Amino acid sequence: MPPAREISIMTLKSLTKDAIGKDFVSDLSVQDYGKKPNIDGVKIIPLNLFVDDGGAMAEIVRLDENGNVQALPEFKVRQSNLSLLMPGTIKAFHLHYNQEDLWVVMPYDRVLVGLVDARKTSATYQNSMRFVLGAGRAQALYIPRGVAHGVANVWLQPANMIYMVNQHFDPENPDEHRLPWDTLGDDFWEIKKG
């Protein structure tokens, strides 16, 4: 057996596929780091997060003189809501014919977001997106009408989400059209292992 110093020098050298044992080589894969599909009109808007030794402050939304969101000039906030997602919760999928959403997840929370473009004339029809909001980042997510959306808390702590919409909720005539939670497969909302 070579001395420890020789072993450590050997581990610094590049390996080839032939250097991996047959018990492992058939299970090897490479994670896809390529650009993920997008959906026309969906926007992830970075927010300013100011951190100091006493905590943090994030600017959630800035309105112009007409009450429109500066980052989305055509979006006028008509109602704001707070949603608490308990661990294990899946709220998916639904879409709106008229309503647009602007979601903000607290940087100290995290939720799994799922989107699918249901607009038949869209260039990104049937594209789906899956990503995490929160998790140390201050961001807002704009979801246009016709894009089915859902959210899940697959972690162990409750999570808070603030969302703004461009119309008032009407329980007599709700603009909320549901699709099955597993529209994108029953494993879509699971934490990916590996």
| CA–CA gap between residue 181 and residue 175 (Å, rounded) | 18
Q: How far is CA 4 from CA 9, 11, 14, 50, 85, in A?
A: 9, 11, 18, 48, 52
- End-to-end Cα, the chain, rounded Å: 33
The percentage of residues in the chain with a pLDDT greater than 90, rounded to a whole number, is 72
More confident of the two residues 66 and 166: 166
pLDDT at 129: 97
pLDDT at 108: 92
More confident of the two residues 82 and 27: 82
| CA–CA gap between residue 118 and residue 45 (Å, rounded) | 22
pLDDT at 15: 72
CB under 8 Å to 106, separation ≥6 — which residues?
134, 159, 160, 161, 162
Is 45 inside a domain boundary? yes
**Listed residue (62, 82, 58) closest to 73, CA to CA:** 62
Tokens representing 137? 């980042």
Is 192 inside a domain boundary? no
Is 22 inside a domain boundary? no
- pLDDT over 70 at 10, yes or no: no
Is 132 inside a domain boundary? yes
- Give me the mean pLDDT over the 96-113 stretch: 96
Report the domain count for the chain.
1
Is 9 inside a domain boundary? no
Q: Domain containing 95: what range?
A: 37-178
- Give me the mean pLDDT over the 58-68 stretch: 89
Query: pTM of this prediction?
Result: 0.85
- pLDDT over 90 at 75, yes or no: yes
CATH number, domain of 107, equals: 2.60.120.10
Q: What is the pLDDT of residues 145-190, one digit of tens each?
A: 999 999 999 999 999 999 999 999 999 999 999 999 999 998 999 9
Is 163 inside a domain boundary? yes
